[in-house]
Structures are given as structure tokens and as C-alpha cells.
Amino acid sequence: MKQSEIKGLSTEELQEKLGSLKKSYSELKITHSISPLEIPMQLRTLRRTVARVATEITKRELQ
């Protein structure tokens, strides 16, 4: 998910997206610990997307 897409979402949508992204990240991490993923880069991209969404939420709260 790109930064421009994140900025287009409302704060409520960002909160929902953050929850679902964190859940999918934790599931993917558990799956990877049991048996290696075919594409381990998924972990990095998902972690960074979570960080982008969290940063945008924090930025909006500070304004």
C-alpha cells in the first residue's frame, strides 16, 4: 500500500486497516516460524505497511 493510498483514507478506515494488517502480520510471522515462507519479503513489506499506516494515524492525531 502506497503512501498516497493511505492519505486518501479516513481516520476510521485507517484504524480498521491497521488492525487487520497487524493481525495478518502476526499470522504470517507464526507461519514463517513453523515452516519458511516461499517469499520471505512478504514479512518486510507487510511490516513496513503497518508502520506507514501507524505513522499516518499518529500524524493526524498530532494535528
Angstrom distances, CA of residue 14 to CA of 3, 25, 27, 34: 12, 16, 20, 30
Tell me the CA distances in angstroms from 54 to 9, 25, 33, one per residue in order. 13, 14, 25
* Of 1 and 36, the one with more pLDDT: 36
Query: What's residue 1's pLDDT?
Result: 84
pLDDT of residue 6: 93
Q: What is the pLDDT of residues 7-44, one digit of tens each?
A: 999 999 999 999 999 999 999 999 999 999 999 999 99
DSSP class of residue 9 equals: S
- 3-state SS string for 11-60: HHHHHHHHHHHHHHHHHHHHHHHHCCCCCCHHHHHHHHHHHHHHHHHHHH
